[in-house]
Amino acid sequence: MALVSKTFELYGKTYTFEAGELAKQATGAALIKQGDTTVLLTAVVSKERKNYDFFPLTVDFNEKMYAAGRIPGGYLKREGRPSEKATLTARMIDRPLRPSFPDGFRNEVQVVATSLVADQSNPCDVICVMGASLALSLGGVPFEGPLACVRIGRNRETGEFLVNPTYEERENSDLDLELGGTRDFISMVEAGAEEVTEEDMLAAMQFGQEALGAFCDAQLQFIEEYERVNGAIVKKEYPLDEPVAEVHDRIFAHYDEMAAALCDADKLSRMAKVDAVKQAIVAEFTEEEQVEWEREIPVNLKKLEKQAMRTMVVETGERVDGRAADEIRPIMVKDNYLPLVHGSGLFQRGQTQVLSVLSLGMLNEGQRLDTIEPVEGKRYMHHYNFPPFCTGETGRIGSPKRREIGHGNLAERALLPVLPDENEFPYAIRVVSEVMESNGSSSMASTCGSCLALMDGGVPLKRPVSGIAMGLIQEEGKTVVLSDIQGIEDFLGDMDFKVTGTERGITALQMDNKATGLTFDILRRALEQAKEGRAFILDKMLQVIPEPRHETRPTAPRIVSLQVPVDKIRDVIGSGGKVIRGIQDETGASVDIQEDGTVYVGGTGDSVDAAVERIKLIIKVPEPGEEYTGRVVSIQPFGAFVSLLPGKDGLLHISRVAQGRVDKVEDVLNVGDEVKVRVLEVDERGKISLDRIDKPEAPEGSAPSHAERRERADRPARQRRDREGGRSHRAPGDHGQGRTPRRHHEAE
């Protein structure tokens, strides 16, 4: 197998496809590059067919820290559990791949993406999808490929759309849209946006569809080159679960019973009725038949439920809970739900209920990111928890799964554009959404509940955000767009389309689509219907809490920022951090100093004001005319040094310690005395001269005698003559005899 490499340019970026050199024992493998960012994609299909009633696909993203020239943090110094970004990248690969495999495919498929180089300019996530597509194609695996994924940005200034922008270009973009699919079909959408209108979002999606086609064509061209060098790719054949007509007919004979069981607005009651119908149907098969058709029976039972639900919607216009297509379930909203926490909100829509709780902290409490991307951390964190009790089930509670990480990331992206700048609100912000009940669209309930918690906690949001999940049913040539879908409409429908935003525009999108007939006209309808639904939900929220609280909770830390001259940072920190530790220990406040001189002080009660005052005193430079009450810290023959501010002493000359002349400073002042002084002068070196306010009369007997004054005046002259060689001690007429002669250097 020979190495085949192809480099090409699309939309201003350079890409490279390679195959035939690495991972040759995998079913298929491909190396993908954008710029110098390099990812290896491998695909392996098991030889044996699994006895499952679902498609066994697993996708992993191996984030190697050496790709960015870094050593992993932590004690072990090796890669451990995947980061959130790695998990989200694996989901990004999985979502367009999964619906591309044929129904009944039961061989296990594992796709692994391994980051080899991260050039800190080009992200490696979106190129992994076309890498996986290329690996599957080169391995002869049957799927509806080629597939690709593109990221679409938009320049804030020019409005120009960008394809797969660099990290730098993304910083100047008001849109971050990821699209996955084929040249004709969008199967996955993920987006964050700064209140982009529905029209602009649709235009970006149409532009992205064209870009998907270009990358799919590039794969086909590479495959042709690969086959020219290494021979034709042999398409592998894998056995599929073929429908058994007898099983289908016997199960679908109970269509009316299934349709009747589905007509119940209560989720648990409906599930019980559906399960009862299924059990009754299974009981009609003999034990031998159940063994023989152990896969076909559950597959056809699911098809029966799906067909009954979908037909009901398109034929009667009613859904299983009796709602119309654009009708939203009853909404319940409560703010200030928990005492003592920094903010909380309870949001319930139908049988989906989420409690969101806010925590505020210092900026240095934000999340540090140890990934291969250039982003080092974030101040806003949204975490989503989906415990088993929320669906009435038992199960293990452990670390968050991919779904929980994905839903938390969606709610985080939804609220990020409306958060205040850290200069306006210098806090690290964490919101945790606990799903208490779930019957569809818990991620959108998390977005609404989190917005409530932020407003309840006094976070000055630019505008409130609401979210809604849209669905789609395409059956018998008819198309119905559903608002506020519940669980069964998500599982058995054609689309799960989540939209969040403010009254001005969209802040986040997420879509998983199974309908190949999804057109941009249908997407336009869905976006417009979602806009109406978002407005309805937002109105319900604002009836309870119309705007953010004007202050944070008393239990939340109060954080104040101030600016310190850069040359004064060392004074605030002190030797070995002694000064700053002292401020924190004595006041109880937390102090965080940035390299640019910004200082954040946080705490509760009076601790913040006390710490701020201490810092201001440290950086303050006394000015002439200012008055202080200082403490004498040192006494010298010529005067007393008085501490005015932390780290700043001034000299009170002996001539200014009292009215009249004094012999010694100690006659008037002692170390530790408090004295009121006025600043006379601050010279260019920062030395401070002081004058005493309200000078006392000099004590009797303190002034030196005439002889003492003459002796004191004469003393410096004698000392100077001594230093200059003692000439005053030479005898009269002595002109240098007995002295070492000076050396005279003659010119050479």
Output the known binding site for Mg(2+).
490, 496
Going by the DSSP 8-state scheme, the letter that residue 740 receives in this structure is: P
- Which tokens belong to 661? 């002349």
Angle at 418 between CA 198 and CA 334, to 5 degrees: 100
8 A C-beta contact, residue 177 and residue 205: yes
- Which tokens belong to 9? 């340019």
Distance, CA of 645 to CA of 622 (rounded, Å):
9
Smallest CA-to-CA distance from 567 within 644, 619, 645, 623 is with: 619
8 A C-beta contact, residue 316 and residue 471: no
Number of Cβ within 10 Å of residue 460's Cβ equals: 16
Number of Cβ within 10 Å of residue 13's Cβ equals: 16
From first CA to last CA, the distance across the chain in angstroms is: 85
Beta strands in 400-494 (DSSP E): 428-437, 466-475, 478-483
Q: How many CA atoms lie within 13 A of 493 on its CB side?
A: 31
Give 679's strand partners: 690
8 A C-beta contact, residue 328 and residue 483: yes
Smallest CA-to-CA distance from 519 within 577, 567, 479 is with: 479
Known binding residues are 490, 496
Distance, CA of 148 to CA of 127 (rounded, Å):
8
The DSSP bridge pattern shows strands 380-385 and 428-437 to be: parallel
Distance, CA of 493 to CA of 501 (rounded, Å):
24
Q: 3-state class of 424 per DSSP?
A: coil
Q: For residue 145, which amino acid is it?
A: G
Distance, CA of 346 to CA of 355 (rounded, Å):
5
Residue identified by tokens 């004001």 is 609
Number of Cβ within 10 Å of residue 541's Cβ equals: 22
Q: 3-state class of 743 per DSSP?
A: coil
Q: 3-state class of 136 per DSSP?
A: helix
Q: CB burial class (10 A; 0-12, 13-18, 19+) of residue 69?
A: exposed
Residue identified by tokens 């790709």 is 67
Q: CB burial class (10 A; 0-12, 13-18, 19+) of residue 81?
A: exposed
- Which tokens belong to 176? 């971050």
Distance, CA of 546 to CA of 544 (rounded, Å):
6
Residue identified by tokens 């995998």 is 26
Which residues, 6+ apart, have CB-to-CB distance to 694 below 8 Å?
A: 676
CA dihedral angle for residue 445, residue 446, residue 449, residue 451, rounded to 10 degrees: -120
Distance, CA of 310 to CA of 240 (rounded, Å):
25
Distance, CA of 657 to CA of 680 (rounded, Å):
14
8 A C-beta contact, residue 329 and residue 266: no
Going by the DSSP 8-state scheme, the letter that residue 386 receives in this structure is: -
- Give yes or no for a cis peptide into 646 (omega within 30° of 0): no
CA dihedral angle for residue 525, residue 527, residue 533, residue 535, rounded to 10 degrees: -130
Q: For residue 112, which amino acid is it?
A: V
- Which tokens belong to 190? 């993920």
Angle at 530 between CA 525 and CA 536, to 5 degrees: 135
